Amino acid sequence: MVGYYRSLTTGPAEDKKYCALTQFEPTAARRAFPCWDEPSLKATFAISLVSRTDTVNLSNMPAYSEEPCDPSEQFDHLFQLPAPEEDDDGDDAGFAWKITRFQTTPRMSTYLAAYANGEFQHLESAFCSPLSGRTVPIRIYTTPKNLPHAGFALELTARVLPLYERIFDIEYPLPKLDTLVVDDFDVLAMENWGLITGRASGYLLADPSMLRLRKEIVALQSHEVAHMWFGNITTMSWWTYLYLNEGFATLVGEVIISDKIYPEWQLDAEFVNEHVNRAFALDSGLSTHPVEVVCRDANKINQIFDGLSYSKAASVLRMLSSFVGEDKFLKGVSLYLKKRLYGNSTTGDLWKGVEEATGNKVSEIMEEWISKPGFPVVKVQETDGGLILSQNRFLLVGTDSEETTWTIPLHILSVDATGNVTTDHEVVLREHEQFIALKTTQPFKINAGTTGYYRVLYSPERLKAIGAEAAKGTSAFSVADRVGLIHDAIALAKADLMKVGDALALVYTLRAEKEYHVWAAIASNLESLLSIWWENQRIVELLNAFRRALFSPIVARLGYQSDAGESSNDSLMRTCAITQALDAGDNEVANELKGRFAHFLATSDEAQIPSELVTAIYTAAVRYGGRPEYDAVKALCDRPKNPAYQVAAMQSLCAAEDLELAKDTFGFILSGARDQDIMYFIGGLAQNIKTRRPAARFFLDNFDEMHERFKDGFSMAHLLQVSLSVLSAEDDRDNLVTFFKDKDTSKFELPLSQVLDSIEGNSACVERSTENLLAWLEDWSQ
C-alpha cells in the first residue's frame, strides 16, 4: 500500500473491482515517477491521467480538461494496454478511454503529490474564506456503497477550514479540497495537498449515535486539514524536523481546533489520556529518541513516524503554549508560518516566531525538550517554608549515564485558606535541585492541568492528601489534573519509585468520580497492570475483582440504553464501564450482552444492539459462546453492515478463549484478511491473555511472510509492537534477541528496540512489585 497501488473496493461475495491511488509519504514518490524525492526540493506538478471513461480521476488540483483519447496511438511506447474484449454480438467491446489534465500545483514537496482513479461518487459542500470571501468547494469521494456514510466527515471539513484561516491569518490557497476514502490504506489518512486520502473505517459514520467514532473522525480529519498549513504550505526542511508537521497537526488539529467545535468533549483532558501518556510510554526506555532526530536513510525515516514525533512533540508544544499563553503561542506560530510560506523550515524558525510574539527567549527553555531523549520526574520534598524540588530522568529500567536535566516550567496550583485557586506559571526548575517557597498547609499540585511533559513524585502522605482533594465533588483539581495524577501514580509504581499499593489506593479514593476521562485513565492503567501480571492467576483474579468493584456500579447506574438528551460524558462512560465490567468477568453484564446477541441471532432484530455497544456485545457472544456464535460474528465480519461494525467483528473474533476457535482466526489472518486489517487480528489476539503466547508464536513463525508483505510501509512496526511488547517473562526478551540476531532489521530497528525495552520493563515490574501488589489486593479484598 505504498507508491501507486490498487485497492479492492468490493466485499468477498462480490465480483472484484479495484481503484488505484497513491501513498508517497515519506519516500515512495520515486516508485511512481522519477524525482528528487526530498522535502526541501519542491516543484510544481502538472499531472495528467489516462483512464477508462466510466471512472473518475482525481489529483491535487482541479481538472481543467477531460476528453476522449486513443492511448494505443499515443502511449503504446510507454505501456501495454489490455487486449480488446468482444461483447455478446461478437463486436469489439474494448474500452473507451479519456485523458484528464489537472491544473499545475503550487510549489510543493514530492511526498504530497497525489492522484487516484476509480468508480468513485462524491458528496459536495463548500466553505467561504473569512479572509478573502472566496468560496472553496469541498468534496468527499468514495465508492457507492460507502457514500451514504460520508456526510459527517464532509460537514466537519467545512467547519474546521475557516477556523484555521482565522487563527493563523493564512488563507487556504488551493481552489478545492477533496478527501478520498478507500478500503485499503496503510495508515489512517494522508494529508496530500488538495486530495486527502484515508481509510474507510476512519472516516465513515453510519450511525450518529456512535460517539466514539464521531470523535475519532473529528480528530483524524482535523489533523489532516491542519497539515494544509503544517507540512504543505510550510514544510520541514528534512525529516529530522518531522515533528513540525506531525506535532502541530496533533495539537492544533486534535485539540485546539476541535475543542472550538465540541467544547463539551473536554479534549484537553483526552489529550492527556491519548497523547501525553502514549508519549511517556515510549519515552520511558533507553531506546527512545529525541523529538528532533537525525535521519540519513529511507529506512530510518519510516521508523520515526511514531508516538514521539506525534504525541511527544504535541505534548511539548502544548507545554510551551501553556507557559507563554495560548493566544501568544498561536500568534507566534502564525508568524512562523508566514515567514516560510511555500518554503521549508527548521526548529529555529519556530522559536523565532514564538519569541517575536511573546518577547520570551523560549529557545533557552525549549531546545532541550526537542533535542534530548526522555523526560524528567520531579520529586517533591516538603520542608519548612516550602518545597525542595529535584529532577531526574524517568526510566522504567536502567540508569541515565548522562544525568540529564531539563528547564522545567512547573505551573504550581495552590488553594488558599478561603478556597481560592491560583496557578503560578512563572516558576521554572532550572537546576537538578531547587527550593520553592510555598504554603504546604493547604492543597497544592505541581504541573497544574497536566500541561507539563514530566511526572511528579510526592510522598505517600502528600499523595493521599491530594487524592482526598481530587475526590471532592468540588475539587480544586481539573479533570486533566485528575487524569494526570492517575497516570503518574501507576507509572511511578511500575518504575519502583512508589509502591503499587499506594497507586491503587489513589485509584480507589476516586471511585465516586463522575467524569469519563478520569474513568478512561483508571481503565487503561488497570488494564496495563493486568497485562504485566497476566501469567499470575491470583493477581489476575484480584485485579479483576477490583475492576468489577469500580465499574459494575456505574453499569448499574447508567444501564445499557442511552436516554434522549444524554450528555456525551455519560454516553462515553456507559460504554467504558460496560466494556471494563465485561472484561473483568462480571457475570450479570456478560449475561445481559449474550442475551442481546442471542435475540439478534434468533430474530435478526438489531434493536437490542446499540451501536456504541456493538463491540462489547459481539465480544461477549464470542468469549462466552461456542462455534455458532463465533461463526455468526465471522459472517458479520465478512458481510458487515458498515466499516465500524466490521472492525467490531474483527476485534471480537479475537476474544475467543477456546483455542480451537482461535485457530480459525489465526488461519484467516493469512488466508482472507486484508493487509490493513491484519493488525486488528494480531493485536486483538495478543490482548487476549488466553491467546497471547500463541499470537506471539504465530507472528514469529510467519515473520518472513509478514516482513515481505509489510516491509515498505508503516505496518511492520505496528505489528511488532502489538504482538510482542505485551510479553513479560524474564526469558522473552532474550528469546527475541536470539530470533532477530540473523534477521535484517534495518527497516524496523527502532520499533524492535522499543519492544525489547517494553518487555524488559514488564519483567522488572513483575520482579520488583509482585509482593506489594498481591499484599495490597489481598488486604483490599477482605
The HSE-up count of residue 639 (CA atoms within 13 Å, CB side) is 5
Query: 661: buried, middle or exposed (CB in 10 Å: 19+, 13-18, 0-12)?
Result: buried
Q: Do you find a cis peptide bond into 26, omega within 30 degrees of 0?
A: yes
Query: 473: buried, middle or exposed (CB in 10 Å: 19+, 13-18, 0-12)?
Result: exposed
Whether the CB-CB separation of 292 and 308 falls below 8 Å is answered with no
Choice among 224, 254, 292, 629 that is catalytic? 224
Rounded Cα distance between 255 and 218, Å, is: 10
CATH number of 3-226: 3.30.2010.30
Whether the CB-CB separation of 319 and 325 falls below 8 Å is answered with no
Cβ count within 10 A of residue 586: 21
Rounded Cα distance between 464 and 499, Å, is: 13
∠529-530-532 over CA atoms, to 5°? 65
Whether the CB-CB separation of 318 and 329 falls below 8 Å is answered with no
Rounded Cα distance between 195 and 21, Å, is: 11
Query: 398: buried, middle or exposed (CB in 10 Å: 19+, 13-18, 0-12)?
Result: middle
DSSP string covering 99-157: EEEEPPPPSB-GGG--EEEES-EEEEEEEE-TTT--EEEEEEEE-TTTGGG-HHHHHHH
Whether the CB-CB separation of 4 and 21 falls below 8 Å is answered with yes
Helix (H) or strand (E) holding 528, with range, is helix 516-532
Whether the CB-CB separation of 674 and 650 falls below 8 Å is answered with no
- Distances in Å between the Cα of 625 and the Cα atoms of 170, 540, 616, 640, 667 are 57, 22, 13, 20, 20
- Distances in Å between the Cα of 221 and the Cα atoms of 214, 324, 619 are 11, 28, 29
CA 232 to chain centre: 21
Rounded Cα distance between 295 and 297, Å, is: 6
Strand, coil or helix: 419? coil
Length of the chain: 782
User: Cell numbers 491503587 correspond to what residue?
Assistant: 504
pLDDT profile of the chain (782 residues), mean per 10: 89 76 96 96 97 97 95 69 55 75 98 97 98 98 95 98 98 98 92 97 93 97 98 97 98 98 98 97 95 90 95 98 97 98 97 96 95 97 94 92 89 86 87 93 93 98 96 92 98 98 98 98 98 97 98 97 91 98 98 97 92 96 96 92 91 96 94 89 96 97 91 88 94 96 92 96 97 98 93
Q: Is 425 annotated as a binding residue?
A: no
Residue 364 annotated to the active site: no
Strand, coil or helix: 414? strand
Whether the CB-CB separation of 28 and 3 falls below 8 Å is answered with yes
Rounded Cα distance between 664 and 660, Å, is: 7
**413's grid cell:** 496550583
DSSP character for 305? Answer: -
Strand, coil or helix: 237? coil
**What pLDDT was estimated at residue 92?**
47
Amino acid at 586: D
List, in order, residues 6 or more apart from 381 with CB less than 8 Å away.
387, 388, 389, 390, 459
CA 150 to chain centre: 21
Rounded Cα distance between 5 and 20, Å, is: 5
Quick one: which of 357, 352, 155, 164 has its CA closest to 248? 164
Quick one: which of 441, 429, 435 has its CA closest to 378? 429
**What pLDDT was estimated at residue 766?**
97
Model pTM?
0.95
List, in order, residues 6 or more apart from 615 with CB less than 8 Å away.
579, 648, 651, 652
The HSE-up count of residue 578 (CA atoms within 13 Å, CB side) is 28
3-state secondary structure 639-691: CCCCHHHHHHHHHHHCCCCCHHHHHHHHHHHHHCCCHHHHHHHHHHHHHCCCC
Rounded Cα distance between 316 and 310, Å, is: 10
**371's grid cell:** 533535542
DSSP character for 726? Answer: T
**What pLDDT was estimated at residue 77?**
61
Q: Give the domain ranges of the chain.
A: 3-226, 235-371, 376-482, 667-782
Strand, coil or helix: 493? helix
Q: Which CATH number fits domain 376-482: 1.10.3210.10, 3.40.50.880, 2.40.40.20, 2.60.40.1910?
A: 2.60.40.1910
Q: Is 223 annotated as a binding residue?
A: yes
CATH number of 235-371: 1.10.390.10
Rounded Cα distance between 653 and 631, Å, is: 9
Rounded Cα distance between 158 and 703, Å, is: 44
Q: Is 246 annotated as a binding residue?
A: yes
Q: 63-69 and 97-102 as β-strands: parallel, antiparallel, unpaired?
A: antiparallel
**What pLDDT was estimated at residue 473?**
86
40-64 burial, b if ≥16 CB within 10 A, otherwise e? eebeebebebbbeeebbbbbbbebe
